[in-house]
């Protein structure tokens, strides 16, 4: 038993995002699971968190909340919106390629929200950030 779906789901999300050549080309600063210390803009980062949904049974049925963030220094938010569109296209209504020896996906990835954040500074550079929130359900494989 693995006991946490976070690493396998994170790996699968990264694989799904990297499989989109348009997204990789648009996010010239890369796709990261953490904000780089000295980033090249625009870039994408993502994070996952888990909430157990199994009820009273055994095993595990985590609901994963995936948050993607597009960071762009270009004037206006149009550049961030285009990259966010590509993220949604890569993930929405798609299964994620999770390690089938650990988990199976239960349905497809659900896109819930896209939220522009107020402009901020990252290493002294004014940036626009656009966050999208997704839900992914996975079921643990029982030995």
User: For residue range 18-68, what is the model confidence (pLDDT) as tens digits?
Assistant: 999 999 999 999 999 999 889 999 999 999 999 988 877 777 888 999 999
**Extended beta strands in the chain, E state:** 31-32, 43-52, 62-72, 103-105, 110-122, 125-140
Number of compact structural domains in the chain? 1
Query: Domain for residue 74, yes or no?
Result: yes
Range of the domain at 113: 6-140
In a domain, 76, yes or no: yes
- Residue 1 has a pLDDT of 57
pLDDT at 113 exceeding the cut of 80: yes
1 domain-assigned: no
Q: What is the pLDDT of residue 2?
A: 66
Q: In CATH, what number is assigned to the domain containing residue 128?
A: 3.30.2000.30
User: Does 124 reside within a domain?
Assistant: yes
Distance CA 40, CA 17 (A): 18
**Better-scored residue on pLDDT, 140 or 17:** 17
Does residue 74 sit in helix, strand or coil?
coil
Instruction: Tell me if 12 is assigned to some domain.
Output: yes
């Amino acid at each position: 038993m693995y006991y946490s779906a976070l690493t396998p789901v994170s790996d699968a999300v990264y694989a799904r995002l990297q499989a989109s050549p348009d997204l990789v080309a648009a996010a010239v600063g890369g796709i990261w699971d953490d904000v780089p210390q000295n980033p090249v803009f625009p870039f994408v980062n993502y994070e996952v968190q888990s909430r157990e949904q199994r009820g009273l049974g055994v095993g595990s049925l985590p609901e994963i909340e995936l948050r993607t963030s597009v960071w762009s220094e270009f004037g206006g938010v149009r550049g961030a919106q285009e990259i966010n569109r590509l993220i949604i296209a890569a993930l929405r209504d798609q299964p994620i390629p999770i390690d089938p020896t650990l988990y199976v996906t239960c349905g497809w990835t659900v896109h819930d929200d896209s939220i522009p954040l107020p402009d901020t500074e990252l290493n002294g550079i004014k940036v626009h950030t656009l966050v999208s929130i997704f839900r992914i359900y996975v079921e643990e494989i029982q030995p």
